[in-house]
Every structure is written in structure tokens, then in C-alpha cells.
Amino acid sequence: MARKTHSPASHHQKLARFKLRYAFISISIATWIMAMVLPSLLMAQTPVSNQEIQALVQNLKNDPRGPYKDIRWFCEDGSIIPPKEKCPEPGGQQRARYKDEVARLQKSNHLFFGQILATTPLEDVWDARNYNSRLKQYQMEKYLRANDDGWIMRKGQYYRGAIQIEDESAWGIDFLSHLVTQDQVIKSQYFLLRQAIKDVPHRNDDNHTLSVRALSKTLSDSYPDFMQLRIKIHGQPDATDIQSVQSFYENHRNKLTVDQRSQMETLISDMQLLYQPIDVARLREITKNLPSEASITISLNIYLDELKAASSSGQVISTAEKLAQIRNEILTVKSKKGRLALLDLSNALEDIFLRSASSWKTGTLGETMEKICFMGMAAFGTGLIEAWEWDHISPVLTSYEREEMELLALNDYLNTARSMIEWGTGMINGVYRDVINQYTAFEPLAYSFQDDKIRSSILLPLGETVSQLGDFLAKHAQLTNKVLSLSNQSTLRGLNPGIAKGELVVVDGDVP
């Protein structure tokens, strides 16, 4: 029998048919995989509606575990095991896991409820690609918890073992140390960095200013007679508020519920801590982390030596100078511990500045202008205005030193001071507006976050002092506003000359 042979062309044809069949099988398998996986991917990426989020928030408020599902060990090797077991190697951390619906929100809406910092990657919380959204959400939730009886943690705050404060503080030190080593973060995001240092746990200090504002709001909401005191505490806070609240408590004690009494006592205690005499020893402890030979360290130690003996005006001036010096010279300190200490000091000095500014009652035009000047310096030192903005306006603000000044120059001074307020407000708005809008869509209380930031900053006393200057100029230039019985009328600005008749509509939220 003759042997059958295959031509080269026949061999190539079989090889082509095999490749075609293999490709078809591969495509089929890939199609099957996509059919199985794609629905779950789409489900994870489809944003949850604001109505659903609002309903979830209400459910979490009433849940004994809040946003958390259970407690687990998070081990160094990446494994997650039940709380009664042990990690295969030392170094694990015990904390809560998020509820499934809370974890889904992180992927679908980039919303992070009940954030536990420990075990979370540092860069995830900084969240640079999303304009630091996750960090700002952490700050927003802290505000909501303080002002809404725990918010989503109303009952979950009693869930034992969910959060370990020592682990949170250790993580906070690592996180903030990581940030302060980045020169560009200090240069371009100084305001946000200082705010983060106020809110991220890393020391034993409490934010008594936030607590006082939150408790006064809670009390006025549940007991309307307290509203006048709340307005005073939020609008013109000073040490005299302690006696006012104590007197109110004595006169209304029998009408208050048990919870209201407890809140009132906590409010008085926090106010006493807020307005207690300056603790220089505590500030010196922080300076121990600074290089002893550095010029900023020497300057701060001289400042602390003279602080208690200084008058209110002296404290305002020297503290503003130190706030500005810290911002200007922080990059000359190379250690992360030293930089973090400087920013901790900056926040502590801001509290001293606010207290001293409320005590400095100006008696002359020159004093009022001098106070505005150093308030502007403090606004720069706390990050509310940019360095180039301060460089631009400081020659105008230091003109208070002249013996004589024309009315036109005074008006220019006033407009410059008003610009500082607008720039500072714009800084807060620019940094936090995205998260405020996101949260306000399902939690209306979030809209007041910006107002709280403004009122707890240098902008509040700055606005009052600028208004005093405006009243002085209006009086001597014989220019007055008469709008109802409103106070601070010199701050009113007309939209355009003339009159208009029509319906006045107040629009909630942002106007496009």
C-alpha cells in the first residue's frame, strides 16, 4: 500500500483550524467569566441614592453596633480571625469590621462611615487623588457626632472593643509624621494639615472648643430658653460665659431633665478647661521635641517666659508673631517629631490668641487698626490666607503706625481688612465644600460644618473688629446704613445702585 503523505498546505490548514477552535473556546470562557463577575462589579460601582443613604444613617443611629458588624483580630500576615483566637505572629490589632452595607458605600459612593484609623493604609486616609476626601469625611463625622448625639454612633459608641484608642493614637502619630515630612504638603495644604492635627488622635488633648459649641447647640435645641446664651457662646465667646451658664443652670435646674443636667454640667466643666489660665508648663513639654539650637526654639522659649506677664494686647501681638514665625520657619526643622511639635504648638497658640483677642478691648482708632493688623498676621499663621496674600496686604495693614492718615487711606485699610475675611472664608469653603455638599445631600446638619469652622477660627473676632472700624469710618464720613435694626451695619454692601421691587427668595445650599 502506498504511504499517504501530507502536503505543507494541508498541515497549515489543520493548524489554523486548531487555533480558531482554541480561540473560540477562550472567548467562550472569558464571556462566561464576565457574565458571572460583571453584575457584581456593576453593583459595587453603582452609586447608592441619597435617599437610601439617609435611611441607612437612621438605621445606624438606632443600631447597638452602629456601623460595625463584629470584632476581629487584624493580623500582621493579612489574616482576619475571630477575637478569641490568636494571630500566628505578634503585632496584630483588634478592632471592629464594618457592616457589609457600610463597606459597600466605600466602593460605590466613596463614603466612609465610622472610620477606624488603625490598620488603614496611611495614603488611603490622605486620599490625595480624591482631594483628601476621606480625611475630610473623618473630620465631618467628628463634627456630626459632637452635634447630633453621636450621629451614626448614637448607640454604637457603647460597642465595647470596636475602637482601641491607643491603637488610633499610635496610627495618628505615624500618619501625621508621614505628612509633615512632605515639604509640598506643608507649603500647599497648610490649613488642612493644621486642621487634621486638631482632629486626628495623637496626643491626650481634647478639643474643648468643639465640645463647648456642640453642647450649647444641643441644649438650646432641647431647651429653647438657653438659645440666648447659645448665641452669645457661638457669636462672642469669652470667659464671662462660664458665670452666665452657671447662673442659668442654678435658675433652671429644676426644669431640666436628667440628660440636660448632665449636658449642662459637662458644658460648664469644658468651659472652665477652655478658659483656664495658660498652662505654660504643658507648652514647654511640647517644645522639648524641638532642636534646642534652632532659632524658632529659642524664640518660642522667650515667648513662653514672657507670656503670662503680658497684657491682653501684648499676648495678641506676640502670639500672632509666633504663629507666623512657625509657618515661615517650619521647613527649617528637619525632624518629623520637631515639625509635628511645631504644628501642635501652633494649634495651642491659636487657642491662646482667640482668648486674648476677646479680652483686648480697643479704645482708639490706632488700637483698632493695630489689632486688625495682628489678626491678619494670625490668619496667615493659621493658614486661613496664603503667604502671597499676606505679603500683598501686610504693607497696608502696618500703616496703622502712621500718626496721621487721610480718610481715603482709612477706607483702603478697611477694604483690605474685609478682603482678609473673604479670603479666609474662601479658604474654608475651598477646602471643605466638596465633602459638605456630599454629606448635606443626605444629612442636612452637615451644611453648618463650614459655619462652625468659621466661628471657631480667627475670622470671628477679626470680623467683629473690622466692623468696629467700619462703624468709625461711617460715622466720621457721615455715611450710614439703616437696614431694620441689624447690628454691624457697616459690613452691609449694596449689590447695585437703585431699588428693585419683587419677591425675595432665600435659596438653600449653593447657588449655581
Q: Tell me the per-residue pLDDT of 340-385, one tens digit each, with 9 for 90 and over.
A: 999 999 999 999 999 999 999 998 999 999 999 999 999 999 999 9
The Cβ of residue 24 has, within 10 Å, a number of other Cβ atoms equal to 10
* DSSP 8-class letter at 47: P
Q: What cell was used for 240? A: 464671662
Q: Single out the residue of 45, 97, 42, 93 nearest to residue 71, CA to CA.
A: 97
Confidence of residue 208 (pLDDT cuts 50, 70, 90): confident
pLDDT at 203: 79
Contact call for residues 477 and 483 (beta carbons, < 8 A): no
279: left (phi over 0), alpha (psi -120 to 50) or beta: beta
Q: What cell was used for 305? A: 517666659
pLDDT tens-digit readout, 447-456: 999 999 999 9
CA dist list (Å): 185 to 181, 193, 446 = 8, 8, 26
Burial (Cβ within 10 Å: 0-12, 13-18, ≥19) of residue 417? buried
Contact call for residues 491 and 467 (beta carbons, < 8 A): yes
pLDDT at 476: 75
Q: At what angle do helices 407-440 and 459-476 cross, to 10 degrees?
A: 140
pLDDT at 484: 44
pLDDT tens-digit readout, 302-335: 999 999 999 999 999 999 999 999 999 999 999 9
Residue scoring higher pLDDT (11 or 79) = 79
Q: Give me the chain's average pLDDT, please.
A: 87
Q: What is the residue type of 355?
A: R
Spatial separation of the C-alpha atoms in residues 299 and 310, rounded to whole Å? 16
pLDDT at 243: 92
Rounded to an integer, the average pLDDT of 190-217 is 87
- Point out which residues pair with 97 in neighbouring strands: 70
Confidence of residue 507 (pLDDT cuts 50, 70, 90): low
Does the structure show a pLDDT above 70 at 8? no
pLDDT at 316: 98
Rounded to an integer, the average pLDDT of 420-443 is 98
Confidence of residue 279 (pLDDT cuts 50, 70, 90): confident
Give one DSSP letter per residue of 217-231, joined into a string.
HHHHHH-GGGHHHHH
Rounded to an integer, the average pLDDT of 171-183 is 97
pLDDT at 40: 47
Does the structure show a pLDDT above 80 at 2? no
Could you tell me where the DSSP H helices lie in 46-117? 50-61, 100-108
Contact call for residues 376 and 420 (beta carbons, < 8 A): yes
pLDDT tens-digit readout, 20-77: 454 444 445 444 444 444 444 444 579 999 999 999 999 999 999 999 999 999 998 8
CA dist list (Å): 332 to 214, 288, 293, 326, 337 = 38, 17, 12, 10, 13
Rounded to an integer, the average pLDDT of 442-470 is 96
pLDDT at 16: 52
pLDDT at 304: 96
Q: Does pTM surpass 0.75?
A: yes
Radius of gyration of the chain (CA): 30
Please report, for the chain, how many H helices and E strands are present, in that order: 21, 3
Rounded to an integer, the average pLDDT of 251-256 is 94
Q: What cell was used for 430? A: 475651598
Does the structure show a pLDDT above 90 at 437? yes
pLDDT at 407: 85
Spatial separation of the C-alpha atoms in residues 229 and 212, rounded to whole Å? 12
CB within 8 A of 133, min separation 6: which ones?
110, 127, 434, 435, 438
Q: 285 by DSSP, 3-state: which?
A: helix
Rounded to an integer, the average pLDDT of 111-117 is 97
pLDDT at 205: 60
Instruction: Show me where the domains of the chain are located.
Output: 53-163, 207-275, 280-480
Spatial separation of the C-alpha atoms in residues 167 and 91, rounded to whole Å? 11
Contacts by residues 469-476 (CB-CB < 8 Å, ≥ 24 positions apart): 469/365, 469/368, 469/369, 469/372, 469/413, 469/414, 469/417, 470/414, 472/365, 472/368, 473/407, 473/410, 473/411, 473/414, 476/407
Spatial separation of the C-alpha atoms in residues 431 and 446, rounded to whole Å? 15
Rounded to an integer, the average pLDDT of 273-277 is 80
pLDDT tens-digit readout, 158-168: 888 898 888 99
pLDDT at 488: 59
Contact call for residues 176 and 202 (beta carbons, < 8 A): yes
Q: At what angle do helices 50-61 and 100-108 cross, to 10 degrees?
A: 150
pLDDT at 506: 63
Query: Which phi and psi (to 5°) does residue 481 adopt?
Result: -105, 140
Q: Single out the residue of 277, 290, 429 nearest to residue 346, CA to CA.
A: 290
Rounded to an integer, the average pLDDT of 81-87 is 90
Residue scoring higher pLDDT (264 or 209) = 264
260: left (phi over 0), alpha (psi -120 to 50) or beta: alpha
CB within 8 A of 37, min separation 6: which ones?
none
Does the structure show a pLDDT above 70 at 287? yes
Residue scoring higher pLDDT (440 or 34) = 440
